[in-house]
Every structure is written in structure tokens, then in C-alpha cells.
Amino acid sequence: LERDAIFRKKLNIHVSGSNVPSPLQSFAELKSRYKCKSYILRNLAELGFKEPTPIQRQAIPVLLSGRECFACAPTGSGKTFAFVCPILMRLKRASDVGVRAVFLCPTRELAAQTARECKKLARGKKFRIKLMTKQLVKGADFSKLPCDILISTPFRVQFAVRKRKLDLSKVEFLVLDESDKLFELGLVKQVDSVVKACSNPKILRSLFSATLPDTVEDLARTIMHDAVRVIIGRKNS
């Protein structure tokens, strides 16, 4: 659509892929277009968020349309909510089927921060959002723990899977957050084994990054299917 193209250009949103959904004009559109539950809009208002950031405007509709998303936007541009919001919407409510979403973050600090942000947006709903801590890894059978969203470094998830304490075969959403840093820190092998352990053929993967080195582009090409690529601003700024 012409209107979408003009709007994207104004906000420096670059997209590639087939049938890219229209960017959000406002958070209110989450309700009018995607029937978002009111708890999310209430939480956004409480956080004082008035407008979606450019990455949120484009990545949220992509994930809500059931498309994989390969996104690059500068640090501090709101990438966390760009995947937390649509994934909470698609999970709908807490369920006991097992781990349903996994967010991989490069460091324990980033994982803890992501868990905090995720809980802020989920307030008022009974989602079980778990940060993979050392105690949790050491604990008995993690697979019996009710968990909708598991947030962790790749190392801890991979370790728990290897010890057969964690079953990822039901995972519907996998996010590789700050994926450029996952590479810088040499975590590719661990990421790979988590990607493999998430064996549900209907999984929706997404990759968020602040920069786009070739390593990240290559990973996106190998693990994603019919992804929409969203870049805010310039590729490596």
C-alpha cells in the first residue's frame, strides 16, 4: 500500500519479505485491528507509553500475523516490547501444556531485565513468566514447573535440556534477543542446540538485534522461514 510506504519512509522503517503487514498507527490499533485484551493497553498506559516506537509499529503486526520476524533497531529503541507484546497476545492466557515461549538473551543481566519488562506488560494476567536462575537449573525436574514464558541465557537452557530436566518440544515462540551479542560472546553453539531442542514444527522464530553483522544475517537465513526483515534506520549504525 502506498500509505504504508509513505508512513514507513517517514519513520525510517525498511522492510523486506512478501506481504508485509501494515505498520501500527497507534497502540489503540492493537485493539481495533487485533482484538488485543484490555490488560495490555492498561499496562501500556500505566507505563506511560503513548506511541509505539518504530520497531514496535512494524514488528508487532508481523508477529501477530504469524510471520517470523528478523529485526534490527538501535539499542534503546524498544525491541523488548516489540516481541513481548505480540507473544503475550498470541499466548492469550496461562496454560499448563509446558514451556510455550523461550526468550534467549546474551547475559544474565539482560535476561533478568527482559523478565522484568515482560512481567510489567503481563500484569493482571496469570502468565507464568520464569527467569532461568542458577537454583532453577540445579533444581529437580524443571519440566514439571508450570511455565508459559522462559527467559534465559542460552547456556542455562542448553544445560537443563541436556540433563533432561527441560522439555522444549511444545515451544511455540522462540526469540533470539540481542543476537549480535549472542555471537560476540561466542554463544552460537549453545543457541544452535536450543534451536534444535525447540522441535515443534509450528514454532515461530524471531531474531532481534542492534546491528546486522554477516553472522546474524547467516543465522537468520538458516533458521527462519518466510521471515519479514525489518530494519530501523541504517543497518550498522
Question: Residue numbers of the site for Mg ion (CB under 5 A)?
Answer: 79
By CB under 6 A, residue 77 contacts ligand ADP: yes
Among 43, 63, 70, 80, binds ligand ADP (CB under 6 A): 80
Q: Which does 77 bind (CB under 5 to 8 A by kind): ligand ADP, Mg ion, none?
A: ligand ADP
Minimum CB separation of residue 7 from Mg ion in Å reads 24
Among 38, 75, 135, 222, binds ligand ADP (CB under 6 A): 75
Q: Which is nearer to ligand ADP, 70 or 81 (CB)?
A: 81
Look at strands 69-72 and 204-209 and give their pairing: parallel
Minimum CB separation of residue 144 from ligand ADP in Å reads 32
Task: Give the binding range for ligand ADP (CB under 6 A) out of 70-78, 95-103, 127-135, 158-166.
Answer: 70-78
By CB under 6 A, residue 78 contacts ligand ADP: yes
Q: Which is nearer to ligand ADP, 40 or 161 (CB)?
A: 40
Taken as a whole, the chain contains a residue count of 237
Burial-class residue 103 by CB neighbours within 10 Å (0-12, 13-18, 19+). buried
For the chain, state the CA radius of gyration: 17
Minimum CB separation of residue 49 from ligand ADP in Å reads 4
**Cα distance between residue 142 and residue 155, in whole Å:** 15
Minimum CB separation of residue 221 from ligand ADP in Å reads 23
Q: Which does 23 bind (CB under 5 to 8 A by kind): Mg ion, ligand ADP, none?
A: none
The contact mask relative to ligand ADP for 113-142 (x = CB under 6 A, - = no) is ------------------------------
* Widest pairwise Cα distance in the chain: 56
Residues 37-66 that bind ligand ADP (CB under 6 A): 49, 52-53, 56
Provide the binding-site residues for ligand ADP, judged by CB under 6 A.
Answer: 49, 52-53, 56, 73, 75-81
